């Protein structure tokens, strides 16, 4: 039946669904998921159809104006997913839709790239060319080339090839000798690259068992549980993904592979494109570095069914694949799966829900699973597959803990590079092996203090100290980007007593370069990698052995394979530990384990030096012994005692404003209302200043809620917020399952 009425949500925030009628001429082409243009107030607006209706009780219903694009952009399943997200993450459906549909797809004009093609207007004989040669030699030259074309050629390409200009071409068109026409062409971000075909490797026993578990889930997805694939780095997880996808594709089903943005390296893409090289177009890649045009084309390729495999970062979980068979979430513990703006969703959790809706298999893989996923595996919600061995049965690296308290007693400089770590680096340089030094902090000095009055240079907009960057010789705030010149004297007391304190990667680099003047040292962090190609170039020269020591932030911590790296130094393991966050310990454990996974992937076994002031903290000790089970056990006990996830869900409400008093008052009022209106089973904290009290000029207050029935809690929070009027300059955000507690 053709719909005569439809229900839509429009792209603007009105928090309501609206009904429209559909003119008979358009009715056949409208369905759930279509994009339409509708009259709204006295303007028109773009909207997405969420339902078709036989009748509507809206009075004076207005007709839609037009249909946008040819095909529906969102399936009924994805719409269901969007509604779930809206309820779970306490977020308006319009906002969810904005994440679901890329901007370039929501636009009214469909953005295929058009290119001008050239061909002869008719048969051109030699005489005509000769005649033209006398009067217009360049035109003649171009005409000669065009006359010989076997197929129409893109104008730009032709002009490049002949080194002639557009004017010459236009002249030939004017003479009626040459024709131009426009054609849509598809951009392929990897179109220039060749991928070497690879075949399935023969799996070892553990891998075979894991693949069987996934294959079972592919066979009977309705009754299957998500599979948690816990395998140490280098245990062959990616090989299992590749074979599982192969199996899905052979069943005529499609697959999504999510990887954290930082692991979406050319290497990763190459591995997937290479395994499915028989149909290179079948693998689409979605990430944040695509141009709008590329994103449009990749998305259309997926929506039309030409691409069957999608590999991408967080938002690729919404890829509009039909007949989805398998979703893989690699490095499922990664924080980058959590979106830190509305909708504040976690792609792993959305993947699990999408798998349920689409009735497909889902695999979560990691060397260091999150407590949440591991707990789910323990309680039987997920199936656990474990790979305990590296594929080459190589040893796990030896972890050496360096107690910085003792080192410091020996000499002051030891805080950056202990004697032991220095010795190990010297040894590697001698053997021509490579070293990675890791520190999760950019810049040269992390604060500028006055030794007379004790005053630090803080950001005027945020409650953090400014970091000194030596290469630009300025102070800068890592939160808001504010920069300032380095004062000569202390602005507070006027004394010439300023000292730099704390250190970041820039200082590590310069210290290393100073200690080892002959070594090739390179730094890899957000400051040194501002050019798009810099990242790739640095990794290539590192792989080629042109760099001896690579210093970097989390950019180098994950997912990279370097056979010649035999030493990893963790400059300060305590950075994450002291954050006011219940996941601090978990993060430290994951980080140490992941960074350690970079060492000793080649012939020589690896060694890891962990520098710390708290050598006996559990995360460091368990990581040292590669003892996952032991770590999980004690961390789970701690979480249970404190009613933290995974035992209770959390919701973090942030109330912020440029007016401190108004933010505080609003937060306190909200807390009082929540106390009255929430069911008593939920745990409610008082409104407190956030650990990061001031950010980008705004004062921030936190309210933390916890409970088991997260959907109910979300709904009650939404209802409370809807009933409360907040002053205009007060912003309230709700983060369900928060990862940022600052």
The footprint of ligand ADP (CB under 6 A) covers: 201-204, 207, 231, 233-239, 391
Distance CA 321, CA 503 (A): 47
What is the closest distance, in whole angstroms, from the C-beta atom of residue 446 to Zn ion in the complex? 14
- Return the number of the residue (428 or 694) whose C-beta is nearest Zn ion: 694
Distance CA 742, CA 735 (A): 12
Parallel, antiparallel, or unpaired: how do β-strands 549-552 and 521-524 relate? Answer: parallel
What is the closest distance, in whole angstroms, from the C-beta atom of residue 481 to Zn ion in the complex? 7
- Return the number of the residue (373 or 447) whose C-beta is nearest Zn ion: 447
- Return the number of the residue (213 or 476) whose C-beta is nearest Zn ion: 476
- Which residues are CB-neighbours of 651 under 8 A, at least 6 positions away? 90, 704, 705, 706, 710, 713, 714, 717, 734, 735, 736, 737, 738
**CB 621 within 8 Å of CB 400:** no
721 backbone φψ class: left, alpha, beta (φ>0; ψ -120 to 50): alpha
CA torsion through residues 664, 669, 674, 675, sign: positive
Residue 535, both tokens? 């990242």
Radius of gyration of the chain (CA): 30
Stretch that binds Zn ion, among 6-14, 200-208, 433-441, 460-468 (CB under 5 A): 460-468
Distance CA 286, CA 280 (A): 15
> Per-residue contact track with Zn ion, 469 to 508, x per CB under 5 A?
--------x-xx-x--------------------------
Helices 628-641 and 371-378: crossing angle, nearest 10°? 90
Helices (H), 191-311: 205-219, 237-250, 266-275, 292-303
Residue 594, both tokens? 């992941």
Cα–Cα distance list, 686 to 579, 586, 648, 670, 671 (Å): 20, 26, 18, 10, 7
- Return the number of the residue (239 or 372) whose C-beta is nearest ligand ADP: 239
Indicate which single residue of 56, 168, 461, 720 sits in contact with Zn ion (rule: CB under 5 A): 461
Residue 143, both tokens? 């005409």
Beta strands in 490-548 (DSSP E): 498-501, 521-524
- Return the number of the residue (466 or 623) whose C-beta is nearest Zn ion: 466
What is the closest distance, in whole angstroms, from the C-beta atom of residue 337 to ligand ADP in the complex? 17
| 459, interface contact from Zn ion, ligand ADP, none, CB < 5-8 Å by kind | Zn ion
**Count of positions (residues) in the chain:** 742
Beta-ladder partners of 567: 435, 607
What is the closest distance, in whole angstroms, from the C-beta atom of residue 377 to ligand ADP in the complex? 17
- Return the number of the residue (232 or 316) whose C-beta is nearest ligand ADP: 232
| 435, interface contact from Zn ion, ligand ADP, none, CB < 5-8 Å by kind | none
What is the closest distance, in whole angstroms, from the C-beta atom of residue 416 to ligand ADP in the complex? 31
| 477, interface contact from Zn ion, ligand ADP, none, CB < 5-8 Å by kind | Zn ion
| 398, interface contact from Zn ion, ligand ADP, none, CB < 5-8 Å by kind | none
> Per-residue contact track with Zn ion, 420 to 459, x per CB under 5 A?
---------------------------------------x
Tokens 């460091």 — which residue? 620
| 480, interface contact from ligand ADP, Zn ion, none, CB < 5-8 Å by kind | Zn ion
- Return the number of the residue (342 or 479) whose C-beta is nearest Zn ion: 479
- Return the number of the residue (192 or 202) whose C-beta is nearest ligand ADP: 202
What is the closest distance, in whole angstroms, from the C-beta atom of residue 373 to ligand ADP in the complex? 16
What is the closest distance, in whole angstroms, from the C-beta atom of residue 232 to Zn ion in the complex? 39
- Return the number of the residue (243 or 300) whose C-beta is nearest ligand ADP: 243
- Return the number of the residue (481 or 605) whose C-beta is nearest Zn ion: 481
What is the closest distance, in whole angstroms, from the C-beta atom of residue 458 to ligand ADP in the complex? 42
| 524, interface contact from ligand ADP, Zn ion, none, CB < 5-8 Å by kind | none
What is the closest distance, in whole angstroms, from the C-beta atom of residue 385 to ligand ADP in the complex? 12
Distance CA 521, CA 437 (A): 10
- Return the number of the residue (599 or 670) whose C-beta is nearest ligand ADP: 599
Question: Minimal CA–CA distance to 556: which of 438, 444, 443?
Answer: 438
What is the closest distance, in whole angstroms, from the C-beta atom of residue 313 to ligand ADP in the complex? 17
What is the closest distance, in whole angstroms, from the C-beta atom of residue 477 to Zn ion in the complex? 3
What is the closest distance, in whole angstroms, from the C-beta atom of residue 482 to Zn ion in the complex? 5
Residue 649, both tokens? 């869900």
Eight-state DSSP code of residue 157: H
Distance CA 81, CA 368 (A): 28
Verify binding: residue 742, Zn ion, rule CB under 5 A.
no
The phi and psi torsions of 122 (rounded to 5 degrees) equal -155, -175
> Torsion over CA of 699, 704, 705 and 710, rounded to 10 degrees?
80
Largest CA distance in the chain: 95
| 203, interface contact from Zn ion, ligand ADP, none, CB < 5-8 Å by kind | ligand ADP
Question: Minimal CA–CA distance to 421: which of 543, 612, 571, 316?
Answer: 571
- SS3 of residue 308 by DSSP: coil
- Return the number of the residue (99 or 207) whose C-beta is nearest ligand ADP: 207
Q: Is 310 exposed, middle or buried (0-12, 13-18, 19+ CB in 10 A)?
A: buried
| 534, interface contact from Zn ion, ligand ADP, none, CB < 5-8 Å by kind | none
- Return the number of the residue (234 or 585) whose C-beta is nearest ligand ADP: 234
Within 10 angstroms of residue 336's Cβ, the number of other Cβ atoms is: 18
What is the closest distance, in whole angstroms, from the C-beta atom of residue 207 to ligand ADP in the complex? 6
Q: Which residues bind Zn ion (CB under 5 A)?
A: 459, 461-462, 477, 479-480, 482
């Amino acid at each position: 039946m053709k719909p005569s009425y439809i229900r839509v949500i429009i792209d603007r925030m009105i928090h309501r669904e609206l009904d429209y009628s559909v003119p008979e001429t358009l009715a056949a082409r409208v369905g759930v998921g279509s994009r339409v243009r509708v009259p709204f107030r006295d303007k028109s607006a773009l909207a997405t159809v969420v339902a078709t209706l036989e009748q509507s009780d809206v009075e004076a219903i207005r007709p839609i104006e037009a249909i946008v694009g040819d095909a529906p952009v969102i399936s009924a399943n994805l719409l269901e997913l969007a509604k779930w997200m809206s309820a779970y993450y306490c977020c308006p459906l319009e906002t969810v839709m904005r994440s679901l549909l890329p901007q370039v797809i929501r636009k009214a004009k469909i953005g295929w790239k058009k290119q001008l093609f050239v061909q002869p207007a008719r048969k051109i004989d030699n005489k005509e060319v000769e005649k033209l040669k006398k009067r217009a030699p360049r035109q003649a030259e171009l005409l000669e080339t065009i006359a010989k074309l076997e197929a129409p050629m893109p104008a730009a390409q032709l002009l490049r090839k002949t080194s002639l200009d557009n004017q010459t071409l236009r002249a030939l068109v004017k003479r009626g000798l040459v024709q131009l026409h426009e054609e849509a062409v598809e951009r392929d971000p990897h179109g220039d690259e060749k991928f070497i075909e690879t075949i399935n490797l023969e799996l070892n026993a553990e891998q075979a068992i894991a693949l069987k578990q996934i294959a079972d889930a592919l066979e009977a997805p309705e009754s299957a549980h998500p599979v948690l694939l816990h395998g140490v780095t280098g245990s062959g997880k990616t090989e299992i993904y590749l074979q599982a996808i192969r199996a899905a594709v052979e069943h005529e089903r499609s697959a999504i592979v999510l990887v954290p943005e930082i692991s979406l390296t050319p290497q990763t893409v190459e591995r997937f494109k290479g395994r499915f090289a028989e149909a290179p177009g079948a693998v689409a890649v979605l990430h944040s570095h695509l141009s709008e045009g590329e994103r449009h084309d990749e998305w259309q390729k997926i929506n039309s069914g030409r691409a069957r495999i999608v590999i991408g970062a967080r938002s690729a979980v919404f890829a509009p694949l039909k007949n989805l068979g398998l979703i893989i979430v690699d490095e499922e513990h990664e924080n980058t799966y959590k979106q830190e703006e509305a909708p504040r969703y976690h792609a792993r959790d959305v993947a699990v829900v999408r798998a349920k809706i689409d009735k497909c298999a889902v695999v979560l893989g990691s060397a260091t699973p999150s407590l949440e996923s591991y707990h789910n595996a323990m309680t039987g919600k997920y199936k656990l597959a474990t790979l305990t061995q590296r594929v080459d049965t190589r040893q796990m690296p030896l972890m050496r803990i360096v107690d910085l308290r003792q080192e410091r007693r020996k000499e002051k400089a030891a805080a950056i590079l202990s004697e032991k770590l220095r010795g190990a680096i010297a040894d590697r340089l001698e053997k021509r092996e490579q070293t990675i030094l890791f520190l999760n902090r950019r810049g040269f000095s992390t604060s500028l203090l006055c030794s007379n009055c004790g005053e630090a240079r803080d950001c005027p907009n945020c409650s953090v100290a400014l970091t000194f960057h030596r290469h630009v010789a300025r102070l800068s705030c890592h939160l808001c980007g504010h920069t300032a010149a380095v004062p000569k004297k202390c602005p507070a007391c006027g004394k010439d007593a300023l000292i730099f304190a704390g250190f970041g990667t820039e200082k590590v680099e310069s210290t290393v370069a100073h200690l080892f003047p002959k070594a090739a040292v390179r730094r890899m962090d957000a400051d040194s990698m501002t050019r798009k190609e810099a990242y790739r170039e640095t990794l290539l020269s590192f792989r080629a052995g042109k760099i001896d020591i690579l210093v970097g932030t989390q950019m180098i911590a994950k997912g990279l394979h370097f056979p010649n790296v035999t030493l990893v130094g963790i400059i300060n393991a305590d950075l994450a530990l002291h954050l006011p966050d219940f996941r601090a310990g978990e993060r430290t454990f994951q980080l140490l384990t992941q960074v350690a996974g970079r060492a000793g992937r080649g012939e020589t076994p690896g060694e890891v030096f962990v520098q710390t002031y708290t050598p006996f903290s559990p995360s460091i000790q368990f990581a040292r012994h590669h003892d996952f089970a032991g770590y999980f056990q004690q961390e789970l006990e701690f979480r249970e005692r404190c009613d933290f996830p995974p035992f209770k869900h959390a919701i973090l409400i942030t109330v912020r404003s440029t007016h401190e008093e108004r933010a505080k008052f609003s937060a306190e009022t909200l807390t009082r209302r929540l106390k009255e209106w929430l069911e008593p089973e939920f745990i409610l904290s008082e409104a407190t200043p956030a650990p990061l009290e001031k950010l980008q000029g705004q004062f921030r207050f936190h309210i933390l809620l916890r409970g088991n029935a997260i959907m109910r809690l979300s709904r009650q929070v939404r209802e409370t917020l809807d009933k409360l009027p907040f002053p205009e300059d007060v912003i309230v955000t709700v983060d369900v399952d928060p990862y940022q507690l600052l």
